[in-house]
C-alpha cells in the first residue's frame, strides 16, 4: 500500500489535467467570418432597428429560443448583467425584499441591491443545495416582492413548490440558471419555468463565449424591459413610446457579434458536453460510493443533473478525520477537491449592511420598512455544509477523460486505505 503523498509518498495523479476547452474549429470559423465583415457590434443606444443588435446577436437569440422552447431570449454581456436586468424588469421598488439563497455566486444577491432592493437569505436543502421551499415561506414578509432561485451546481431547485409559493403570495420569480443550462425538471429546461431565467456563458461554464449571458422569458413585456435595461433604456423610451418608466435606467449590457457567433456554435455542442459531464460524474460515483463517510450527489426523480460541480457530503464523525485534513490529503494526491461555497449572508457587505455610500443604504433608506437579519444561524443547513460537511470537485475546470477519472478514484481509495496514518498526522 503506497504511502500518502502528504506524508512524502508518490502522488496518485502525476499528470496535470487538461483545462476544459469547448472551443473548436467551428467557433474559429465563425469568429473569422465576423471579423472579415468588420462589424463587431451593431447596437445603437437609440430607437432604431439596430437597437436590438446585429445579425449574429439576433440569430443567436432566435436559436436559443428554439433550443429552450421559450418565446423570448435576450442576450447580455454576462450572467451578472442579466440578473440586474431581470430584477429591474420585474419592477422591484426601493425597499422591496427579494428572497435568495446564501449558497450561490455573489451576483445573485447584489443584483437585488442594484435596484435598492433588500436581499433576504433563506436556507437550502441538504440534498440538492438549492433553496428550501419551507425556508422560503418562513421568510416571506409584507415587503417581499420576489424570489431569486439559483439552480446550483447543475440541478434544478424544487420549482413546482417554489412557483406555487410565488403564486400564493403574488411574487415574481427569477431563476439563476448560470450553472444548469440543459438540465431538466419534469421534462422542462431549467431556467424556463420562472418569470425570467438567466444563463451564464463565461469561460468555465458548460458552453461559453468568453463572457456573456442569456435571459429568457415567455412574457413579451418582461423581454422588452430587459432589452431596454440592456441598452440605454432612458434614451430610448421616448421615441419608442414606452409608458412604464419604472427602472428604465439603462446600461451597456450588450453582447458583441463575435460572442454571439461563438454562442451559435457552442449551443450546438451543449447536448454532447452535458453528456460528458454526466459520464464523468457517474464514473466517479461508481468508483467511490463505497467509501465510508461519503454521500454521492443526489438526482431527484424527474430531474437531470448537468454537474457544473460534482458535490459530495462528508461525515467526519464516521471517519474520525477532520474535513480540512482530508482535503489536504486528497489535494496532495492531485485531486482538485475543495471545501465549497461561502455563505453570502456572512460577507462584510451584509454583516455591516454597507453597500452604497457609507450610511447603510439601502437598508437605512426611508423606503425600507422591514428588518432583515444576516447573523450567523439564520441558514443553519448552509452554514453547516460550509463549516463541516461539503466537498466539491469542479467539473467545469478540466476535461476529464476515463483514465483521469479512474486516477481520481484511486486517489480517494488511497487516502481512505491510509486513514490510520492520516489520523496520526492529525494527532
The whole model's pTM is what? Answer: 0.96
390: β partners: 313
What does the pLDDT look like over 75-112, one tens digit per residue?
A: 999 999 999 999 999 999 999 999 999 999 999 999 99
Q: What percent of the chain has pLDDT over 90?
A: 96
Burial class (CB in 10 A: 0-12, 13-18, 19+), 36: exposed
Phi, psi angle pair for 19, to nearest 5°: -65, 140
Average pLDDT value over all residues in the chain? 96
Q: Which residue has the higher pLDDT, 426 or 224?
A: 224
192-217 mean pLDDT: 96
Report the distance separating Cα 202 and Cα 183, nearest Å.
Answer: 18
Q: What is the DSSP string of 131-153?
A: BPHHHHHHT--TTEEEEEEE-GG
What does the pLDDT look like over 155-171, one tens digit per residue?
A: 999 999 999 999 999 99
Residue 379 has pLDDT above 70, yes or no: yes
pLDDT of the residue at 2: 82
Q: Which run of H or E residues covers position 120? A: strand 118-121
Distance of CA 413 to the CA centre of its chain: 31
What does the pLDDT look like over 11-67, one tens digit per residue?
A: 999 999 999 999 999 999 999 999 999 999 999 999 999 999 999 999 999 999 999
Phi, psi angle pair for 164, to nearest 5°: -65, -40
What does the pLDDT look like over 297-343, one tens digit per residue?
A: 999 999 999 999 999 999 999 999 999 999 999 999 999 999 978 89
Burial class (CB in 10 A: 0-12, 13-18, 19+), 361: middle
- Per the CB < 8 A criterion, the answer to whether 188 and 160 are in contact is no
Domains, the chain, in order of start with CATH, read 25-267 (3.40.640.10)
Q: Regarding beta strands 188-189 and 213-217, do their DSSP bridges make them parallel or antiparallel, or are they unpaired?
A: unpaired
pLDDT of the residue at 272: 97
**Buried residues in 103-117 as b, exposed as e (16+ CB within 10 A):** bbbebbbbbbbbbbb
pLDDT of the residue at 425: 75
Residue 144 has pLDDT above 70, yes or no: yes
Longest dimension (CA), the chain: 75
Report the distance separating Cα 51 and Cα 45, nearest Å.
Answer: 6
Report the distance separating Cα 155 and Cα 194, nearest Å.
Answer: 15
pLDDT of the residue at 342: 87
Residue 183 has pLDDT above 90, yes or no: yes
Report the distance separating Cα 76 and Cα 255, nearest Å.
Answer: 5
Residue 1 has pLDDT above 90, yes or no: no
Which grid coordinates belong to 285? Answer: 460515483
pLDDT of the residue at 63: 98
Which grid coordinates belong to 386? Answer: 460550509
pLDDT of the residue at 43: 97
Kindly indicate the confidence band of residue 427, based on its pLDDT and cuts at 50, 70 and 90: low
pLDDT of the residue at 340: 76
Residue 150 has pLDDT above 60, yes or no: yes
Amino acid at each position: 500500500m503506497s504511502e500518502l503523498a502528504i506524508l512524502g509518498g508518490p502522488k496518485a495523479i502525476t499528470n496535470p489535467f487538461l483545462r476544459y476547452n469547448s472551443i473548436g474549429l467551428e467557433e474559429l470559423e465563425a469568429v473569422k467570418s465576423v471579423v472579415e465583415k468588420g462589424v463587431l457590434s451593431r447596437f445603437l443606444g437609440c430607437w432604431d432597428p439596430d437597437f436590438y443588435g446585429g445579425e449574429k446577436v439576433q440569430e443567436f437569440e432566435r436559436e436559443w429560443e428554439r433550443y429552450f422552447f421559450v418565446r423570448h431570449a435576450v442576450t447580455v454581456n454576462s450572467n451578472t448583467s442579466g440578473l440586474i436586468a431581470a430584477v429591474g424588469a420585474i419592477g422591484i421598488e426601493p425597499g422591496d425584499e427579494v428572497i435568495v439563497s446564501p449558497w450561490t455566486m455573489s451576483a445573485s444577491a447584489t443584483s437585488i441591491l442594484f435596484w435598492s432592493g433588500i436581499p433576504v437569505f433563506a436556507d437550502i436543502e441538504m440534498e440538492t443545495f438549492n433553496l428550501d421551499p419551507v425556508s422560503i415561506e418562513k421568510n416571506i414578509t409584507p415587503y417581499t416582492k420576489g424570489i431569486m432561485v439559483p439552480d446550483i451546481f447543475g440541478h434544478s431547485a424544487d420549482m413546482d413548490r417554489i412557483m406555487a409559493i410565488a403564486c400564493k403570495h403574488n411574487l415574481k420569480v427569477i431563476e439563476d440558471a448560470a450553472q444548469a443550462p440543459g438540465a431538466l425538471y419534469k421534462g422542462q429546461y431549467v431556467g424556463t419555468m420562472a418569470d425570467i431565467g438567466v444563463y451564464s456563458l463565461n469561460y468555465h461554464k458548460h458552453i461559453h463565449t468568453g463572457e456573456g449571458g442569456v435571459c429568457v422569458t415567455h412574457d413579451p413585456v418582461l423581454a422588452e424591459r430587459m432589452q431596454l435595461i440592456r441598452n440605454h433604456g432612458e434614451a430610448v423610451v421616448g421615441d419608442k413610446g414606452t409608458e412604464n418608466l419604472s427602472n428604465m435606467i439603462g446600461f451597456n449590457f450588450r453582447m458583441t457579434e463575435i460572442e454571439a457567433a461563438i454562442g451559435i456554435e457552442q449551443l450546438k455542442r451543449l447536448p454532447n458536453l452535458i453528456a460528458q459531464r454526466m459520464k464523468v460524474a457517474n464514473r466517479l460515483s461508481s468508483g467511490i460510493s463505497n467509501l465510508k463517510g461519503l454521500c454521492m450527489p443526489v438526482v431527484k426523480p424527474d430531474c437531470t443533473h448537468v454537474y457544473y460541480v460534482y458535490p459530495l457530503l462528508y461525515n467526519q464523525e464516521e471517519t474520525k478525520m477532520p474535513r480540512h485534513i482530508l482535503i489536504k490529503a486528497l489535494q496532495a494526491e492531485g485531486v482538485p477537491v475543495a471545501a465549497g461555497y461561502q455563505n453570502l449572508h456572512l460577507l462584510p457587505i451584509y454583516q455591516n449592511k454597507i453597500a452604497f455610500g457609507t450610511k447603510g443604504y439601502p437598508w437605512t433608506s426611508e423606503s425600507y420598512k422591514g428588518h432583515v437579519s444576516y447573523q450567523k444561524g439564520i441558514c443553519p443547513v448552509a452554514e453547516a455544509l460550509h463549516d463541516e460537511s461539503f466537498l466539491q470537485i469542479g467539473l467545469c475546470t478540466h476535461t476529464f477523460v476515463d483514465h483521469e477519472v479512474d486516477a481520481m478514484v484511486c486517489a480517494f481509495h488511497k487516502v481512505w486505505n491510509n486513514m490510520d496514518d492520516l489520523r496520526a498526522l492529525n494527532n
